[in-house]
Each structure stands twice: as C-alpha cells, then as structure tokens.
Amino acid sequence: MKRIATLISTSLIAASLTCCGQSVTPQKAKDVGSVFLKDTVPNNLSKYSQATLASGCFWHEQTLFESIKGVVCVVPGYAGGGKTWPKYEDVEKGTTGHAETVDIYYDSSKVSFGTLLDVYFDAMADPTQVNGQGVDEGTQYRSIIFSHSPNQKRLAQEHIDALNKSGKYQKPIAAQVMPFTLFWPAEDAHQHYLNVHTTEPYVVKSINEIARYQAAHASLIKPGHDFAK
C-alpha cells in the first residue's frame, strides 16, 4: 500500500474530497479518528460472533467495520495462504498466498451476518474486480468471505447469487467463499492505521470513501464514528 500511495496524484486526492458532495476536513478526520482509538475492546471476545472478510486494503476495512453498530472489535491481518506468521512485506509481494483480511467480532443481537455482508459488498469500489479493489491490485487484495459455519457459507453464497442475478453488474461477483482456517494478526503498525495517519494521501482518499458510505447508511453507524457528519 505504500507503493500504491505514491501513485495517487494530487488531482485524484482533490477529486476524492468532492466526489458525491462528500468532503472530510483534516480536523474532522483527526477528531473522528481519535474516537476509534478510544474504543474499549472486551476482554473476552469468545462470546461474540465472528466474521472474517477480505476486500482490498485492510486499513480501510478495519475503520469501516468498526464504525458499524454492533461490531465490538476488528483486527486486520492475513488469511488464505499457507505461510505461518506471514509478514506484511512478504504478503505485499503476492508470494505467500495470503490476502489482506479483517477479523470482525460482533454482537449478533445488534447486527446480523447478513448486514455485515451488505456492508462488505455495498462499500466495495467494484465487487466484480478480480484480485484487487480500485488501485490496490494483486492476489493479496482479492475478495474472500471466510465462512465460520455452514450457515455463513450459505448466506454468503446466497448473497453472491442474488447480486449476480440482480443485473446491477455486467460481470460476475469476484468474491470467493472459503472455509475459515487460520488468521494471522497484522503487525502493530497496521492496527488502526487510518485513524492514526489521517493526513496521508492514501488515507485521505479512504476516509472520504468511508464517509460517503456512512452518509448513505447513517442508521448503521455508531455515534461519534461518522466521518460524514
């Protein structure tokens, strides 16, 4: 993602600030970002439901899903490959087989797996893009739903089938459905990256994308975690 960030021109950043009428000021990004950093993570996550999703940059996905009501914790990391304890530098070369992934813990009495799938697909730049999202390209950015149960597998496949039949997209949905096996948390530097580095060009673009999604789905967003307001 560092390599990709250098490719984003000033004109693209400016466009991201005005597209669809959504603009997040630097101070707003900093203030809202700090709210995420103050969120308390429960000591016992085992009592919560779990969803594990890959969809491009895990910096973006962590902040997006942590803004959703009912989500208690989101951990960025790596899944889908064979190497144990993969490192970011290796994953970014596309040689480990892993995809950037987020492990989501949520209260199923407040938000359903189906709603998380709605967020997952609706917030994508292009759910038909193979091996990437937007300017992030490569197998490490591919889209995968890692199912934790037969029910999650069924719901994920039904969701994909419905999108394919909807006529909304000219190409088939690219997301794979795979059984969950192992998840490797990313290094500390990648935890809450968007909420700490709010002035970096890549982050500015991502925050504005999140804000546009939040503006269109305000009822799903936690108080204080809305970049759009």
The set of catalytic residues is: 57
Q: Residue 103: which residues within 8 A CB-CB, separation 6 or more?
A: 50, 51, 52, 74, 75, 77, 183, 185
Among 59, 64, 85, smallest CA distance to 191 is for 59
Q: Which residue has the tokens 């970011």?
A: 88
Instruction: Provide the 8-state DSSP code for 222.
Output: P
- Quote the CA–CA distance of 102 and 68 in Å, as a whole number: 14
Report the relative pairing of strands 136-137 and 49-55 from DSSP bridges.
unpaired
Q: How far is CA 193 from the centre of its chain?
A: 12
- Quote the CA–CA distance of 64 and 8 in Å, as a whole number: 21
Helix (H) or strand (E) holding 177, with range, is strand 176-179
What are the C-alpha distances in Å from 147 to residues 95, 101, 156, 171? 23, 13, 8, 24
In angstroms, the first-to-last Cα distance of the chain is 28
Assess contact for 101 and 183: CB atoms under 8 A.
yes
